[in-house]
Structure 1
Amino acid sequence: MSDGAALTDFVERIRDRLMNDLRPVFAGVPEWDLVDFPHHFNCGDHVIWLGCLKIAEEFGIRVCSTTSSHTYRADKLKATGPIVINGGGNLGGLYPHHDDLRLRILTDFRNRPIVQMPQSIELTNADALGKLKRAVALHGDFTLLVRDHRSLVIARREFDCRTELVPDAAFALGNLERRPPREEVVLHARQDDEAAGEQISGHPTVDWNKAGILSLRNLGRSAVSVADKLSSPVLTSAVANRFAQQNLDCAIRTLSRGRFLVTDRLHGHVIATLCGIEHIVVNDRYGKVQALWEAWTKNAPMATFVPTWITAETALAERISRRYVF
């Protein structure tokens, strides 16, 4: 089997695992409200969002409304099924506004099932953890999905609720098509608090967290801000989902720029895998990249995991010396 065929098969197997794991969670569900829309430029969160939409589509579930952590209103959430919270790496205190949104939903909707899509858990705030534990226990119908074994251990230790280990929701998108490369090597490096140490130099370096003032992505975010103020949930969802697609397009364009990619973003790794981009994935400061790698992608064709940017430099030199062409 060629590397390309092996990768296609690998991605489809993870996607099938995700769908099979989620089928009993959403059995008999006709519709849901999808919350915590990523009203920012982190493409990874948008890919998760689009994965959630693909899951709903595959299961024949109607998405009745969408809302972000900034525009949440309880009166917008009227589906007859569960409230579904977008996945990511924001549970446990690292990003307080996401935990605050979970608390509000758990408090406002004691009479409805709530499903947290796959998360990485990083406990950084004991007070926030205590509040969330109490809210989950009082609610009684909260399902916490996690995307790595470390988070599963934490979830089962800390929360009195149903917990399941499933792949990241972005895998629902299946195989994606990359763009033609324009450089030999591109570094995709975090510039935030999750970055792990000094990065290597000598190659073009990109990230996806910023957009020009007149770019389509910036205009798309502005459109979401306007739509969120309107009463129509259909309009809000359509505008939000278009913005999410713009961010997926940006991610594919960014990661495809190099024939070889080095990334320290979890979804840099996931999207590169979906696109068949040969890459090296570097662990992040908190270890969530390694945790996902060990749970799901350690056998991914075209991917190599390294613990630090220093070791990435050696691995990159070895890759280039082989001169693979895809």
Structure 2
Amino acid sequence: MNNLKTKLLDLLLVIPPGSEIVYLDYPVYSNIGDLLIFEGAERFFSDNDINIVERFSLKEASALSRRRIGDRVLVLQGGGNFGDLYPWHQAFREHVVRSFPGNRVVLLPQTIHFSNDREAKRAGKVFREHRDLHIFVRDERSQAFASTELSHNRENVRLMPDMAHWLYGHIRSSVVAENAARGTLWLMRGDKERLGESNSLEGFHPEYDFIGDWRDIRSPSNVLMEHVMAKYHRAAGVMPFRPFKPWKTYIPFVRSQIDASVDFFSKFERIVTSRLHGHILGALLDKHITLFDNSYGKNRGYYDCWTKSVRNVTFAE
């Protein structure tokens, strides 16, 4: 796991220490995987003397302006929403690339997937027009696509593991829960990326196992706070000036959600999951992990690239 963390230092080739950056598209929703990416990026930049001078979520897209951005490096959140499955995030990404042709733009590690070839070609034209765009990708299929379709310079496309790996050594299992750990957490996708898992529950023990998705492990108070934070960010996005910065309140909430997820994972000896970050968080906590694929091969591609050699991680064929 430490090797995967170290590979993230290649980011310093395009965002050197001492840089000032603006972080874009941070997640104002309760997908713990995306929150782990965000927290990993936050810690990476802090640990490497990179100053995040401003942050804008998707809900604040209309607040972006040349006056607020200046000539700083624009850094976009990584993850698995590059493509046509999540059009709002893709549209925001394309808006940034079009609107700031003179700024360096860096896409943190992404998995790329288009189900529509025409949409892929249209998006490719947008990205190829930017002359200082640097794309980090999480698997070889995404690397091949980005190198030929998204960048005018193949050297600006680099293979890199997920930003959540920077959390290795920062987060640890709850000692109390770990000492009493038993059973299996079955964290299975219930959204548009779900792949049929009809045989994946063999060995399920209802008395000490748990089955659900990220949304099922949230507390009612976190669900309420998520709605409050979403409204807070939308309000910031429509104001003609910026009297408050919602990320200052939001980041502590993100960390509390991650802490709660770590405590929950710590209760179990084994993780069976079709969530990419279910398996990454499990690996960070040194759990026994069985990884199932998602609907288009994202998890398989990531496993083959990065976690195949990680102790205790296996892929369900």
TM-score range, shorter chain: 0.7 to 0.9
Which stretch of structure 1 is more off in the superposition, 112-121 or 205-214?
A: 205-214
Deviation at 1:261, TM superposition (A): 1.4
In the alignment, what sits opposite 1:196? Answer: 195
- Give yes or no for contact 1:282–1:305 (8 Å, CA) kept in 2: yes
- Give yes or no for contact 1:208–1:250 (8 Å, CA) kept in 2: no
Q: Cα gap change, 1:54/1:261 in structure 2, threshold over 3 Å: closer, same or farther?
A: same
1:216 equivalent to 2:222? Answer: yes
Give matches, 1:225-244, under 5 Å: 225-227=231-233, 229-230=235-236, 231-232=241-242, 235-244=245-254
**Secondary structure in 1 aligned to 2:80?**
strand
1:33 equivalent to 2:36? Answer: no
Give matches, 1:251-262, under 5 Å: 251-262=261-272
Give matches, 1:36-55, under 5 Å: 36-55=25-44
Deviation at 1:295, TM superposition (A): 0.7
In the alignment, what sits opposite 2:12? Answer: 23
- Give yes or no for contact 2:74–2:106 (8 Å, CA) kept in 1: yes
- 1:204-244 C-alpha deviation (Å, 9 max, x unpaired): 20221357684135315513531553455873222232232
Which stretch of structure 1 is more off in the superposition, 143-152 or 195-204?
A: 195-204
- 1:252-292 C-alpha deviation (Å, 9 max, x unpaired): 23322321111111001111111111221111121111111
Letter in 1 for 2:254: A
CA distance in 2, matches of 1:234, 1:29: 25
Which of 83, 88, 106 is matched with 1:92 structurally? 83
Identical-residue share of aligned pairs (%): 25
In the alignment, what sits opposite 2:130? Answer: 139
Letter in 2 for 1:206: G
Give matches, 1:259-278, under 5 Å: 259-278=269-288
Which of 60, 65, 83 is matched with 2:49 structurally? 60
Q: Cα gap change, 1:224/1:79 in structure 2, threshold over 3 Å: closer, same or farther?
A: farther
CA distance in 2, matches of 1:234, 1:62: 19
CA distance in 2, matches of 1:303, 1:122: 24
Letter in 2 for 1:67: F
Which of 154, 172, 180 is matched with 1:177 structurally? 172
CA distance in 1, matches of 2:2, 2:223: 29
**Secondary structure in 2 aligned to 1:26?**
coil
CA distance in 1, matches of 2:315, 2:264: 20
RMSD: 2.2
Structure 2: gaps of 5 or more residues: none
CA distance in 1, matches of 2:102, 2:222: 40
CA distance in 1, matches of 2:70, 2:220: 36
CA distance in 1, matches of 2:68, 2:286: 38
Letter in 1 for 2:283: T
TM-score w.r.t. length of structure 2: 0.86
- Give yes or no for contact 1:217–1:247 (8 Å, CA) kept in 2: no
- 1:28-87 C-alpha deviation (Å, 9 max, x unpaired): 552111011112111001110111111211221111111222221222842542100000
- Give yes or no for contact 1:67–1:228 (8 Å, CA) kept in 2: no
Q: Cα gap change, 1:28/1:15 in structure 2, threshold over 3 Å: closer, same or farther?
A: closer
- Give yes or no for contact 2:28–2:229 (8 Å, CA) kept in 1: no
Letter in 2 for 1:17: K
CA distance in 2, matches of 1:15, 1:212: 28
Paired residue total: 296
In the alignment, what sits opposite 2:159? Answer: 165
In the alignment, what sits opposite 1:312? Answer: none
- Give yes or no for contact 1:33–1:63 (8 Å, CA) kept in 2: yes
In the alignment, what sits opposite 1:154? Answer: 145
In the alignment, what sits opposite 2:259? Answer: 249
In the alignment, what sits opposite 1:310? Answer: none
CA distance in 2, matches of 1:251, 1:196: 23
